[in-house]
Structure 1
């Protein structure tokens, strides 16, 4: 039997070992930490600005430098994980995360902090797809993989919510610098345990890395995220917003042309032609865009219309966060009773139905209890859709392309997070009258409509591959 045949052989059904459980714990700890990093500095930005001498206009680069690299390089590093080893890339990324976080924690000026945030973004682009690929190749397609990915989704959702709360607590009680030092502690723990418990499949022949394709798609993603981020700050009509987006569109077209001609493409056109990969990632982008963006109009509603403090608003969003964690556990059950495609459709329909009533909020505080209920339900439904898209987008993908598949998943997630808020922000501004309330109502209505549209598109166009014969118990 050849090395390639060994690599492509399906996993043998066995019960989960103690070592595998430790491996899952390590990988989920890393992903949770990276999810926290997306939101942990939001509350701390004014304090960082005062301490390090950032101008108000440049504060956004603390967030943007991270998101540009995290989204822009994730597809490239997803493929690197396939070619040179997922465990190896995961460990390198954790080392970079620890070093960059330590530098950020002791930074004394804006330049050093921005450089460290770039390092953190690159580490995220390395670790996230590598960790997901290690998870998907550890378990055969079926209930075991669905449960692990559901737990991963739940912890990532909890990470986003925890990050905002943790950043506020650390900034108020100790220092914003501890938002970085915690990463160092986690990195040391992961590096102490991961080499012992993580295993990776043997790599057969290493194909050449498609450098032209990698460079073009990376620049395209960076341009897209930069344009979207600028639109959220300056509006969609400014050249600084639509210019980079137009450049990204041209570069994506160029990337497709390159991939159709090279012998060993970065992204195989055959992979993108898989219905479950293409439409699964569309669903993922929409799922992350709708739920994370909804926080923006609801924040305006709670603080600007109802007059609640930031602390009270944060506690209300924590309730939404609990719903998302619950959805992470419900997702695998829904998939087990139906399938991953139906889980996406059900998740979107319930999320849209739960979000729609919020389009009719008023300036009465009586809306707080209904808001708590429907946002809890919507958050749970959103995670059902997210678990469904994660399982769908990796189904039937060969083992040697799992890093690329999980890179696509991570890219969809991060672009969705980046895209959603500027879109709803533009709608709020466009429809706002004497108060922000009409704009808030319109943006929430659009969010609900996007969920229902996503359910229709996925229901009509997504096709699942044939179910595998082998499954693994967990």
Structure 2
């Protein structure tokens, strides 16, 4: 069965020969819908920016606040833990009690936390600010996505809206890498956090008058045991995988938290199977579109962020490019991401979301394999070409997996569906580098390590594309 054929085929009684029907022209986003899209995409861009803007500023931050090299990892982990751990909880809470309220609360907390991180006076105050940023992001991302999918109904308008959102998500990560270096060199590391506070000051005043509150006609009930086990499980799992990058999987803390995380997530599944009002609908997870769509999303994010990480090391440590030259390479990637954002809705309209997801994963794997042609003395041009093209098809995977997971889901469960989508995004960006990227720095020879990671990333992406293609043939 083709990936995008309907689950059931009926033969209608013929009444008349239909006239040829041309493809409908894309609907324009005008007025209030355009403003809603601007606010929601600006918030998503801000969170994506936060994932990478601090990376190149870490050495300067450590010297200023007196943080050791090993402690600097917590500047990233302190944000990743709550931003990934609380996503499902906040996505469902928004469904039950109001997405707009939670979105605005998340924005306010994110902005306040960014100010705390900007003016931090010691490591503890800085890490507190980063942790609160993560909590704010965990509220912003799923509620923002569900507000977007409920504002724009399935069809060309949602395809276009998610195309723009996916472009800005990918672009935010890339721009953060380039902008972080410029800001650190010119204004100091604190300006990277100040930029996020400024973004919030722009978005937050606009949002209340533009966004409308979601309505739940049923009396809200929150699955507290499910919320505790899934949040605790995700927090423990992300902590274990992040810490393993520094200490290795044989470390006692890593083993203990990994076991605790898996145990809590197992308990969560048991609780959800018996709860009257579950936090996560297990029948929804059994939908092939939800299950396999999220698998595709997990792999495309994890492998792409890992590839960008190891290629940054390659360009600067092997080819000895400057930070600005390296930024230029990834700047080209960002420009082509914008182009891909305009093209992806047309591709989805032509082939369907499921086929686009599979084709994008296949192409991403092939282009990552092409990066294996880099050498020890040259390869900057090859990196620019292959990573930029890979970024284009990666964006196609981002948009199509979001459409695949959320299509056919009722509005009352859109927060849950988008919570799963964004949990996949956050967790994949958190675990990709610890699980794969660390191999580049532990092989003795960095160049050999980079090639090993790129080869594994290409193989994993390609195999995932085949598994997703087979999985999506089975219909719920």
What is the TM-score normalised by the length of structure 1?
A: 0.91
Partner of 2:280: 267
What do the CA deviations read for 1:298-342 (whole angstroms, capped 9, x no partner)? 123222222222332222122223333333332211110011111
Q: Map of 1:2-151 to 2, 5 A cutoff? A: 16-151=29-164
Q: Map of 1:150-165 to 2, 5 A cutoff? A: 150-165=163-178
Choose from 367, 372, 386 the match for 1:359. Answer: 372
1:400 aligns with 2:418: no
3-state SS, counterpart of residue 436 of structure 2? helix
3-state SS, counterpart of residue 403 of structure 1? helix
Partner of 1:454: 464
**Rounded Cα–Cα distance in structure 2 between residues aligned with 1:76 and 1:397:** 18
Partner of 1:340: 353
**Rounded Cα–Cα distance in structure 2 between residues aligned with 1:426 and 1:323:** 28
3-state SS, counterpart of residue 321 of structure 1? helix
**Rounded Cα–Cα distance in structure 2 between residues aligned with 1:49 and 1:205:** 50
Aligned CA RMSD, in angstroms, stands at 1.9
**Rounded Cα–Cα distance in structure 1 between residues aligned with 2:404 and 2:265:** 24
Partner of 2:431: 419
**Rounded Cα–Cα distance in structure 2 between residues aligned with 1:423 and 1:410:** 20
Shift of 1:463: 4.8
Partner of 1:472: none
Shift of 1:105: 1.5
**Rounded Cα–Cα distance in structure 1 between residues aligned with 2:474 and 2:192:** 41
**Rounded Cα–Cα distance in structure 1 between residues aligned with 2:53 and 2:433:** 17
**Rounded Cα–Cα distance in structure 2 between residues aligned with 1:181 and 1:368:** 32
3-state SS, counterpart of residue 452 of structure 1? helix
What do the CA deviations read for 1:45-69 (whole angstroms, capped 9, x no partner)? 1222222222332222111111001
3-state SS, counterpart of residue 205 of structure 1? coil
In structure 2, relative to structure 1, the CA distance for the partners of 1:57 and 1:20 (3 Å cut) is same
Partner of 2:382: 370
Note if contact 1:236-1:426 (Cα within 8 Å) is conserved in structure 2: no
Which residues of structure 1 form unaligned runs of 5+? 1-13, 467-474
**Rounded Cα–Cα distance in structure 1 between residues aligned with 2:216 and 2:446:** 56
Structure 1 consecutive aligned stretches of length 4 or more whose deviation exceeds 4 Å: 14-17, 463-466
Which residues of structure 2 form unaligned runs of 5+? 1-26
More deviation, 129-138/192-201 = 192-201
In structure 2, relative to structure 1, the CA distance for the partners of 1:443 and 1:16 (3 Å cut) is closer
**Rounded Cα–Cα distance in structure 2 between residues aligned with 1:88 and 1:465:** 36
RCO comparison, higher one (Cα < 8 Å, 6+): 1
**Rounded Cα–Cα distance in structure 1 between residues aligned with 2:291 and 2:334:** 28
3-state SS, counterpart of residue 332 of structure 1? helix
Choose from 184, 187, 190 the match for 1:174. Answer: 187
**Rounded Cα–Cα distance in structure 1 between residues aligned with 2:475 and 2:209:** 35
Shift of 1:465: 7.2
In structure 2, relative to structure 1, the CA distance for the partners of 1:100 and 1:363 (3 Å cut) is same
Choose from 207, 214, 225 the match for 2:227. Answer: 214
Q: How many equivalent residue pairs?
A: 451
**Rounded Cα–Cα distance in structure 2 between residues aligned with 1:203 and 1:15:** 29
**Rounded Cα–Cα distance in structure 1 between residues aligned with 2:87 and 2:128:** 18
Shift of 1:244: 2.0
Shift of 1:242: 3.5
What is the TM-score normalised by the length of structure 2?
A: 0.91
Partner of 1:226: 239
Note if contact 1:74-1:407 (Cα within 8 Å) is conserved in structure 2: yes
